[in-house]
Amino acid sequence: MNWVTIIWSGIAAMCLTLATIHLLVWNKLRNHHASLFFSCSAAALAVVSFFELARMNTQSVEELAWLGRWQHVPQWIITLSIVGFVHTYLRAGRRWLAWLVIITRSLAVVINFIVTPNLTFKAITGLRQIPWLGEQVTIPIGQLSPWLALSQISWLLLVFFILDAARAIWGQGERRRALVVGGGFALTGALTIGQMLTALLGGANLPTAISPSFLPLILAMSYELSRDLIRVGQINQELRQSTASLRESEQRMALAVETAKLGLWVRDLPHGAMWASEQWRALLGYPVGTTPTLENFIARLHPDDRAPTKEALMRADRLGGTYELKYRVLQPDGETRLMASRGRIELGPNGQAERARGVTFDITEQHLADMEAQRHRTELAHLSRVATLGELSGSLAHELNQPLAIILSNAQAAQRLLAQDPPDVAEVRAILTDIVSEDRRAGQVIQRLRSLLKQGESRVELLDINQVVNEVLRLTRSDLIDRNVSVRCQLAPTLPPVYGDAVHLQQVLLNVLLNACDAMEKNAARDRIITITSTGRDSEVRLLVHDVGCGLPPGEPEQIFKPFFTTKPNGLGLGLGICRSMLQACQGRLWAESNADRGTTLHIALLSSAPA
Amino acid sequence: MKTVPGLVYLLDDEPSLLVALTRLLQTEGHVVHGFTTPAAFLAAYQRDEPACLVLDVAMPEIDGLEFQQILRQAGLLVPIIFLTGHGSIPMSVRAIKAGAVDFLTKPVEATDLLRSVDQALQRATAQGRILREATELTRRLAQLTPRECEVLRHIITGKLNKQIAADLGTGEQTIKVHRGRVMEKMGATSVADLVRIAQKVGLGPADVAASV
């Protein structure tokens, strides 16, 4: 063995290996033509290197001439493959230059087979053995053919073609690729041409061999392709992962859609067409196999909801963005279900509404539960009111007793007056007037009571807060007297009306007043004072109920609003919580603060009609 | 029972009720003064005339039972009839124990109220008579000289003139003269009379031990 054999066999082996690998790659990825082109060029270079090795070892002129002639075939393949590779892989290079390379190289091959002995030599006169790399190698002696220039021009054109392509992709920003391929080829071209010219023209004692100089190009191409393969592998991996996660999220989505019983739909706005999922059609009660349209959708709705829904849809389509609808659907079995639908208008490239996409779901149960909860709240508020009024029984008895007592005494006085002779008719007339007015007063007390005891929907209206305070004080008057509590009112004379439910507001105030009374139970009789202040501030009216009692229980002031929190032996602990929720229903607030000296102040804040 | 018209004070914070009660009481010939506040009543009250007070238990300024205490402490013994919207038994017991004539619930029946007012006025009249008598006797007692007073205290122990004279160290004749003046000044006709009067004005008998 010697260096020439080792190097040329090594080159051939390396090229064949690479060719095989990339052929296999191409076999898997048929549309990856770059691999095929590379494989061809590598295989051809392997053949070239075998030819060169044979040439360097030959002992006959005929054999050398034959080898020199047939070597052009793999060279032709190399040229074509490289052009193909550059074209398919780099997607660059001037087309005409490519054709020129192919034509000149093909022409060279054709001429090579016409002239004798081959394209390189006009005539081979003999052989010469020269020592090279520690071995005796054969080189031809003869006259060079002028056609050799055609081969060299073809090589030069190939160099230009590749450099031009590299420049183009450099310009596109793919600098690394341009450097590797362009640099690889530039090196190859320079080596080939230089070596050939030195070998043939310079008369140097060197064999003509192109395979070592083509090796850098082959390696550069292989490097590029391998990088691609690695990237393909990575992408494949990522793709597999993302496919898996996509499938996972699709399944999750499907599960969510199915579990939540969401009906999906898309409306094509310009064409008025509609697509809807099976679930949606089931929700709307479509018979199996019916194609939904906007018209038959509207027809399935409750008659009262048809026109408003259609209008809302049209408005949404016009305005774009997202929208939310609620409508009742008449099911085939006669049942009415309440649906909520949320949609989004998608705009086309020219800003035109293109399609609406959304979900529909059944909110009947939720709605019923909401109504039930609302009903419970109303009931609870009512019960709490009745309970509060129960605590006021003394007051109520007094409020009714007082007019009744006045009426009775008046009436009995009248009876006596009429029994006299002569009867004092003028006095009796005055008495009757008083009786009528007292009767009215009793009627009003009952009216007031009835409105408090009535179980009804909350009705928010504009109220005079001071009037509410006075009403409640009238109701509680005798209870306050019995409990030795005196009330001082500091009511602002001109306050804007507030938003609230009169009954609820009275209930809240009643509760707060009775709590204040309870808080002062241990105070001396002269030391039980409640101060009620009303003030207006911005768009709010505040009512402050100040007592001088035992103060808030230790801990958070907020705890007194929690359900079942109570400091009273027989308390339910619901009063203040209910009061707060009643106020919240009309955007009011209720909170407690400890006074600087002693006792507590309850704050009631209500939204007023005054501008902020 | 025949009603004797008298002076009735009404105290209730409800003017309409005052009017109604006034009318009712006037049909029986009573003279009625109505007040809505305790202060107004106190300003107008005439302690020398027999009268009664119809008093509301629940007033904003003061509790009726409390007001009763205040009146008693001030020595104003006007008989009181309580009126209440919702009285309890303990409350009525307290009122009656403290000297109230009656404890009535609103709405009050005319007959109940008028009967209670009659009782109260009778009590007031009786109280007035006792008071007048006591005042008169006290005035008479004040006219006695210290020696006569001394003699009086001995007379009511039932001693004879001779015994008194011995006790006081004077003559029987002198005591006889004193006794005559005492009887005259005190308006008594007999020793028994004198004993009763002395009891009424709270005059005790002389120290008996000294006489033994």
Check residue A1 and give its pLDDT.
59
The per-residue pLDDT for range A284-321, each reduced to its tens digit, is 888 888 888 888 899 989 999 899 999 988 888 888 88
- Grade residue B155 by pLDDT with cuts at 50, 70 and 90: confident
Substitution target from A409, A433, A482 for chain B, most B beta carbons within 10 A: A409
In this prediction, residues B130-148 reach a mean pLDDT of 84
In this prediction, residue B212 carries a pLDDT of 37
**Closest residue in B to A480 (Cα–Cα):** B60
Find which of A27-41, A54-68, A411-425 is predicted with most confidence, using mean pLDDT: A411-425
Handedness of CA B189, B192, B198, B199 (dihedral sign): negative
Rounded mean pLDDT, A169-173: 85
Asked if B107 lies within 8 A of A410 by C-beta distance, the reply is: no
Which of A152-166, A527-541, A589-603 has the weakest average pLDDT? A152-166
- CB-based contact A394 B86, cutoff 8 Å: yes
Residue A496 vs residues A158, A370, A461, A470, B165: alpha-carbon distances, Å: 94, 33, 13, 16, 96
User: Cβ of A401 under 8 Å from any chain B Cβ?
Assistant: yes
Question: Model confidence over A64-105: pLDDT tens digits?
Answer: 888 888 888 998 999 999 899 888 888 888 899 999 999 999
Closest chain B residue to A412, measured at CA: B110
User: A39 pLDDT exceeds 80?
Assistant: yes
pLDDT at B2 over 60: no
Kindly determine whether residue B106 and residue A407, on different chains, have CB atoms separated by under 8 Å: no
Nearest CA in chain A to B105: A405
Of the partner residues A407, A420, A427, the one whose CB lies closest to the CB of residue B23: A427
Within the 289-328 window of chain A, which residues sit less than 8 Å (CB to CB) from chain B?
none
A427 touches chain B (CB under 8 A): yes
What would the pLDDT profile of B83-131 be if each residue is shown by its tens digit? Answer: 987 777 888 888 888 889 999 988 899 999 999 999 999 998 888 888 8
Of A172-181, A259-268, B7-16, B90-99, minimum mean pLDDT range: A172-181
Nearest by CB to A404, from B26, B107, B109: name it. Answer: B107
Question: B-contacting residues of A 494-533, CB under 8 Å?
Answer: 525
pTM (predicted TM-score): 0.50
Closest CA to B198 of B208, B187, B209: B187
- Predicted confidence (pLDDT) per residue in A433-484, tens digit: 999 999 998 888 888 777 777 766 777 889 999 999 998 888 787 778 878 8
- Asked whether the beta carbons of residue A402 and residue B86 sit closer than 8 angstroms, the reply is no
Integer CA distances (angstroms), A560 to A503, A551, A564, in order: 22, 12, 9
A409, A478, A525 ranked by CB distance to B21: nearest: A409
* pLDDT tier, B209 (very low <50, low <70, confident <90, very high otherwise): very low
Q: Is the dihedral of CA A562, A452, A486, B73 positive or negative?
A: negative
What's the rounded Cα separation, in Å, for the pair B115 and A149?
Answer: 156
The predicted pLDDT at position B210 comes to 43
**How sure is the predictor about B211, in pLDDT bands with cuts at 50, 70 and 90?**
very low
Question: Which residue did the predictor score with more confidence, A56 or A571?
Answer: A56
Report how far residue B14's alpha carbon sits from residue B36's, in angstroms, rounded to the nearest whole number: 7
Q: Which residues in A lie closer than 8 A to residue B109 (C-beta atoms)?
A: 408, 412
Residues pairing with A337 in the sheet? A329
Contacts of A427 in chain B (CB under 8 A): 23
Contact criterion met (CB < 8 Å) for A409 and B20: yes
Nearest residue in A to B87, CA atom: A394
Contact B23 A420 (CB under 8 A): no
How many whole angstroms separate alpha carbon B144 and alpha carbon B132? Answer: 19
Instruction: Return the CA Rg of chain B.
Output: 24
Cβ contact A402–B106 (<8 Å): yes
A215 vs A396, more confident: A215
**Residue A204 pLDDT:** 52
Strands A322-330 and A273-276: what pairing?
A: unpaired
